[in-house]
Amino acid sequence: MKYVQSSGTTATGPADWFTGAVYIDGVQSPSEDSPLSCAHVRFTPGARTVWHTHPKGQTLYVTDGIGYVGTRGEAVQEIRPGDVVFIAPGEEHWHGATPDRFMAHVALNEADEQGRVVTWLDPVTEEEYSR
């Protein structure tokens, strides 16, 4: 067993990864012990990720609030506490809060052989967000 005490530090989501105010509590980064990446991510109303992909896919577990998740060319879906979203490897997608509610989720990803967990793409437009 390996025990890692919480650092208690919340990071602000970088502007090239997110639109709006987003706060990230890292749970685990990939290491030689495990390829798992895990974070608890909190989105303020209207905040969202940019389009992105994950080489090994992603699992989202919604913990609080109401949010959206979207994939290229498809209708946006609402997500709520307790919902689990499975995103396929390489699938272009985004996720975030609705315009008038906060939303938080736990994001789980695995690193690929090069240690990558995500590839960030272009911002989600207002039209794509409101679809």
Which tokens hold the place of 50? 């940019």
Q: Spell out the domain ranges in the chain.
A: 12-125
**Confidence check: pLDDT of 110 > 90:** yes
Closest CA to 10 of 58, 45, 42, 44: 42
Q: How confident is the model at residue 10 (pLDDT cuts 50, 70, 90)?
A: very high
Cα→Cα distances 40→23, 113, 114, 125, 130, Å: 8, 24, 23, 24, 24
Closest CA to 98 of 124, 67, 123, 70: 67
User: Looking at residue 2, what is its pLDDT?
Assistant: 76
Q: Which CATH architecture has domain 12-125?
A: Sandwich (2.60)
Residues 116, 120, 125: CA angle, nearest 5 degrees: 160
**Confidence check: pLDDT of 67 > 90:** yes
| pLDDT (average), residues 52-76 | 97
User: Each residue of 19-38: pLDDT tens digit?
Assistant: 999 999 999 888 888 899 99
